[in-house]
C-alpha cells in the first residue's frame, strides 16, 4: 500500500516561468541527445564528417609545406586555389548526405514521437499556443544541423587565421559566406524534416518519409532534367538545393543551380513543408 503525503505545499506563482518555446525546445534537445540512438548518430556522423574535413586540411598542409609533395603543391596551386570553389566545397555532398541521414534519424521523430505517444493534446492542454509548439520544433530542427555545420565553417577559418594571420588569404572572409549558406541549409532541412515528421505516425515512419521526399524529388527532378534538357529542374529536390546554396553564396563560377530556381525551390519547399507541419499539428487535430 503506497504511503501518501499528507498534502502539497501552497501553490507557487506561475508568472515567472520561461516562455513555452524555450521550455519545449530545451526539453526536445535534451530528449534527442539523451536517447542512445541520438548520442550514437550525432557523435558518429559528426566525428565522421570532422575526420574527413581534417584529412582534407592535413593534406593541404602537407602539400604547402613538404618538398616531397611539390607535385601535389603544383596541383593544389592550380586546382585548390582556396577560392570560391574550395570554400563552397567545405559544405558539400560529403557533409550534406550524412546530415540528411542524421536529420531523418534524429529530427524526424520530433513531431511523430509526440503523435506516437499522444503527447501533443497534453501539450495543448497547457498554456501553449500552436505557434509556440511549431516554433519550438522548428528551432530544435534548425539548431541540430547548424551545430553540425558550424565547425566546418569556423574550424578551417580559425586554422587559416592561426596559420596565415588575419591578413592572410581569403580564409579570413570564408565564414561570412558559409554561415548564411549553412543557415539556409538548416532552415530547408528543418522544414522538410518537420513536414515529414508531421505526416508520419512514428519516428521510424518519419525516417522513411524524409528519405522518400529527398530521393523522390531528386528522381522527379532528374526526369524533368533529362526530358527538358535543363538541369535547373534539379531545384525541385532539397538534396540539390542544399548543395547549391554554398556554391551560390560563395560565388562559384559554375554553380550546380542558378539563383532563381534555387531561391524558388527553397522557398517553395520551406513554405510547403512548414504549412503541412502547421496544419497537421493544429489543436483541433489533437484528439483528447
Partner 1 sequence: MISFENLEVRYGPTVALKNLSLTLEDGIVGLLGPNGAGKSTLLKTLLGLLRPTTGGGHVLGIPLGTSEAAKLRGRIGYMPEYDALIEDSSAYEQVAFWGELSGLTREQARDRAHEVLYFVALDEARYRPVSGYSTGMRQRVKLAQALVHSPELVFLDEPTNGLDPDGRKRMLDLVLKVRAELGTSVIMASHLLEDVERVSDQLVILDKGEVKAAGSMAGLRKMLAKRFELRFLDPLNPAQEGQLTELGQVLEHRNGIYDVELAEADPVLPFRFAEEIGAVLVQLTPRHDRLDEVLIRALRGNLSATQESR
Rounded to the nearest whole angstrom, what is the least distance from the CB of residue 12 to partner 1 in the complex? Answer: 5
* Residue closer to partner 1, measured from CB, 23 or 62: 23
Mask for 18-57, x = binds partner 1 (CB under 8 A)? x-x--xx--x---x--xx----------------------
Q: Grid coordinates standing for 173? A: 572572409
Rounded to the nearest whole angstrom, what is the least distance from the CB of residue 146 to partner 1 in the complex? Answer: 24
Rounded to the nearest whole angstrom, what is the least distance from the CB of residue 14 to partner 1 in the complex? Answer: 3
Among 47, 54, 75, 125, binds partner 1 (CB under 8 A): 125
- Is 117 among the residues that bind partner 1 (CB under 8 A)? yes
Task: Check if the beta carbon of residue 91 is closer than 8 Å to that of residue 182.
Answer: yes
Among 5, 67, 79, 166, binds partner 1 (CB under 8 A): 5
Rounded to the nearest whole angstrom, what is the least distance from the CB of residue 251 to partner 1 in the complex? Answer: 45
Tell me how far apart the terminal alpha carbons of the chain are, to the nearest angstrom. 31
List the one residue out of 212, 177, 180, 218 whose CA is nearest residue 197.
212
- Is 201 among the residues that bind partner 1 (CB under 8 A)? no
Among 70, 126, 251, 258, binds partner 1 (CB under 8 A): 126
* Residue closer to partner 1, measured from CB, 106 or 189: 106
Rounded to the nearest whole angstrom, what is the least distance from the CB of residue 152 to partner 1 in the complex? Answer: 30
* Residue closer to partner 1, measured from CB, 11 or 254: 11
Tell me the longest C-alpha to C-alpha distance in the chain: 82
Mapping DSSP onto H, E and C, the string for the chain reads: CCCCCCCCCCCCCCCCCCCHHHHHHHHHHHHHHHCHHHHHHHHHHHHHHHHHHHHHHHHHHHHHHCHHHHHHHHHHHHCCCCCHHHHHCCCCHHHHHHHHHHHHHHHCHHHHHHHHCCCHHHHHCCCCCHHHHHHHHHHHHHHHHHHHHHHHHHHHHHHHHHHHCCCCCHHHHHHHHHHHHHHHHHHHHHHHHHHHHHHCCCHHHHHHHHHHHHHHHHHHHHHHHHHHCCHHHHHHCHHHHHHHHHHHHCCCCCCCCCHHHHHHHHHHHHHHHHHHHHHHCCHHHCCC
* Residue closer to partner 1, measured from CB, 16 or 254: 16
- Is 170 among the residues that bind partner 1 (CB under 8 A)? no
Among 44, 66, 81, 129, binds partner 1 (CB under 8 A): 129
Among 67, 79, 166, 288, binds partner 1 (CB under 8 A): 288
Among 43, 68, 121, 168, binds partner 1 (CB under 8 A): 121
Among 42, 100, 124, 152, binds partner 1 (CB under 8 A): 124
Binding site for partner 1 (CB under 8 A): 2-18, 20, 23-24, 27, 31, 34-35, 117-119, 121-129, 283-284, 286-288
Amino acid at each position: 500500500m503506497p504511503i501518501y503525503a499528507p498534502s502539497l505545499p501552497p501553490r507557487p506563482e506561475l508568472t515567472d516561468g520561461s516562455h513555452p518555446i524555450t521550455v519545449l525546445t530545451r526539453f526536445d534537445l535534451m530528449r534527442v541527445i539523451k536517447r542512445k540512438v541520438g548520442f550514437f548518430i550525432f557523435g558518429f556522423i559528426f566525428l565522421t564528417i570532422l575526420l574527413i574535413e581534417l584529412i582534407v586540411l592535413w593534406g593541404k598542409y602537407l602539400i604547402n609545406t613538404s618538398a616531397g609533395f611539390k607535385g601535389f603543391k603544383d596541383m593544389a596551386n592550380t586546382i585548390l586555389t582556396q577560392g570560391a570553389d574550395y570554400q563552397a566545397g567545405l559544405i558539400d555532398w560529403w557533409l550534406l548526405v550524412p546530415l540528411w541521414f542524421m536529420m531523418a534519424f534524429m529530427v524526424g521523430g520530433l513531431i511523430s514521437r509526440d503523435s506516437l505517444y499522444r503527447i501533443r493534446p497534453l501539450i495543448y492542454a497547457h498554456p501553449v499556443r500552436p505557434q509556440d509548439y511549431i516554433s519550438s520544433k522548428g528551432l530544435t530542427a534548425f539548431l541540430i544541423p547548424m551545430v553540425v555545420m558550424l565547425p566546418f565553417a569556423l574550424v578551417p577559418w580559425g586554422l587559416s587565421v592561426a596559420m596565415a594571420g588575419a591578413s592572410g588569404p581569403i580564409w579570413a572572409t570564408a565564414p561570412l559566406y558559409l554561415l548564411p549558406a549553412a543557415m539556409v541549409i538548416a532552415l530547408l532541412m528543418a522544414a522538410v524534416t518537420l513536414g515529414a515528421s508531421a505526416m508520419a505516425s512514428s519516428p521510424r515512419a518519419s525516417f522513411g518519409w524524409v528519405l522518400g521526399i529527398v530521393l523522390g524529388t531528386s528522381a522527379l527532378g532528374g526526369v524533368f532534367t533529362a526530358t527538358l534538357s535543363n538541369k535547373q529542374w534539379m531545384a525541385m529536390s532539397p538534396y540539390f538545393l542544399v548543395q547549391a546554396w554554398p556554391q551560390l553564396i560563395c560565388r562559384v563560377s559554375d554553380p550546380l543551380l542558378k539563383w532563381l530556381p534555387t531561391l524558388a525551390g527553397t522557398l517553395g519547399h520551406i513554405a510547403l513543408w512548414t504549412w503541412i507541419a502547421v496544419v497537421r499539428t493544429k489543436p483541433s487535430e489533437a484528439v483528447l
